[in-house]
Each structure stands twice: as structure tokens, then as C-alpha cells.
Structure 1
Amino acid sequence: MAIFAVFALYAAFLLKLLLFSRAPGSERSINLIPFASIAEYAFSHSPGTERVAFANVVGNILIFIPLGVYASWLRHRAAARPTMFTVASVSVAVEIIQGVFAVGASDIDDVILNCVGGLIGMLAFWLLSAILRKRSRERTAMAVFSVLSMPVWVYFFFIIRLRM
């Protein structure tokens, strides 16, 4: 039960961060050229860009690591492809919603970075599975991980004001 409760809290935070942190109609931009935003960050020399670039690149990766872990756990016997399809589908759906409702920048680079995060989460779960070897131990480890991460998600969801 703890695993599903924390997953729901994580999903609510993800929705708040990605879809409800900006007013509808506040921002609309679309980039369909892979690595264009990342290249712009890498080669820009304007002041303050480094911090924004780091937050965007690392943030897009980090925020999808838990989805990779939970998707792998929920789809235990699934191969990598269906799990990554789930992560990519969530990311693409978020980018489409951001574009339609103008609540963020729709960027293919975000999808790529989100998938990297999901892949890291999936690989971390597979490593955990290989170490623990039994589904009951995996469930226990996921419950402990979920309970330990709950204060973090509560803090992010209720305490931090997300205005971007």
C-alpha cells in the first residue's frame, strides 16, 4: 500500500511541476529539433545560462528516474522496450499538453532527457532485482524506498511553491 501511496504522491507532484506550475497561456514554444536546446545551453555564453541549463538538463533527468523505477516494478516481467515506451509516452503526453495549453515549452529535448531519466530508473531497479533475486524482497525494498522518499515528495508537493 505504501508503494502505491508514494507513487500517487510522486505522480501528483509531477503533474503540479510540469502542468500546473504556470498559468495557462503564459508560455508557448515548440522545439522539434533534437538536441537544439541542449546545444544552445552548451554553447551559450550569456550570464545566468549555466544555472538554467543545469537545472533544465539535470532536472528533466532526475524527475523521471522514479517513473523508471516504478514502471519497472509495476511491469515486473516486461522487457525494457515496453517499460521505456511507458516512460516516453508519459513524457510525450506532458509535452503535448504543455504545448496545447501553453503552460510550458514543448521540447523534444525534454522527452529525450526524460527518457534518459526513466532509463536510469529502470536500470537501477534491474540492479536491485538482480541483487535481491526474489519478488518479495523487491516489494519490501520498494516499500522501504517509498516510505523513505515520502517526506521528500510531501515537501516538494506542499512546501515548495513552483513558479517558473
Structure 2
Amino acid sequence: MSNDFYTSSILPYAPIIIKICRAYTDSQEDYEDYYQEVCLQIWKSRANFEGNSKWSTWIYRISLNVCLTLLRNNSKKVGFSEEETISRESEEEHRFSDESLHLLYEAIKKLSEIDRAVILLYLEEKSYKEIAEITGTSPNNTGVRITRIKKRLKTLLDGKIN
């Protein structure tokens, strides 16, 4: 990957990639792997960008697709040993310095894969139309889904996540 491409076409959209990767990972190591894979896939598929949507929309789609694919592939792995589980929990506890942000991400992780994607886009202040375009649904469906997701997150956060 050329440094120029990374600097001009990926780095300005790093916050998008970071938020999506964080929402689908539980450790710093996984997060770094996901981020790197997203960047690689953006670079590999750059010639496929037809300009029918915004570059940021295309970045969202690739980021979501890569994270969902990696999440599914990782869920097929054998379970963790007790030592690995304790290590992962410790990493997760220290990942965010702001407790409310940490709780929000924990609540988001309790959502289904598609609901995570929708709420992350909503938190990025994307319009219903943009969210619908990225997720392949209608703007009306997106609005209904966001209302339900907000209720679910409120319930989770009021109960401090379970």
C-alpha cells in the first residue's frame, strides 16, 4: 500500500474505521488486526470504487463487511483457556479511560451485528438515507430500527449492562 494512498484516502477516514473496529473487537490485539485488515481491503478494492456513493460511505461498507467477516471467522475458533479469558477481560477493562464511553461500547456489543452497524452510523450523525444506503435497507426501516436500538441501549445502560 502506498503511503500517499493511505495518507490521502484512508487516514482522513480513520475515525470511521476505528469506531467500527472497536465495536466488533474485545481486545487491543484484535482491534489492531481488524484495523489493518480493513485498510488492506480498502487498498485492494480501491479500483472497484465507482463513485456512485461518497468515499466515506464506501469506507463504511468495507469496514463493516471486513469486521463482520472477521467476527464470524473468529467465532468459529475454539474457546479460550481460563488464563486467556482473564487476560482478555483485563485488557477490556483498561481499553477506555472514560467509564461512560466504555459502558456505551459494552452495550453496543450486546446488539446484533446489523444493529451495531446502524447505531455506529447514527452516532456518526449519518442521515437515515445514508445509513439505509450503507446497510441496504430503506430509510423508514432505518428509523424504526434506530428507535428500537435506542430503547435496547437505554435498558442495557440503565441496568449497567448484563
Short-chain TM bin: under 0.3
RCO comparison, higher one (Cα < 8 Å, 6+): 1
Greater strand share, structure number: 1
Q: So what's the TM-score if we normalise by structure 1?
A: 0.25
Q: So what's the TM-score if we normalise by structure 2?
A: 0.25
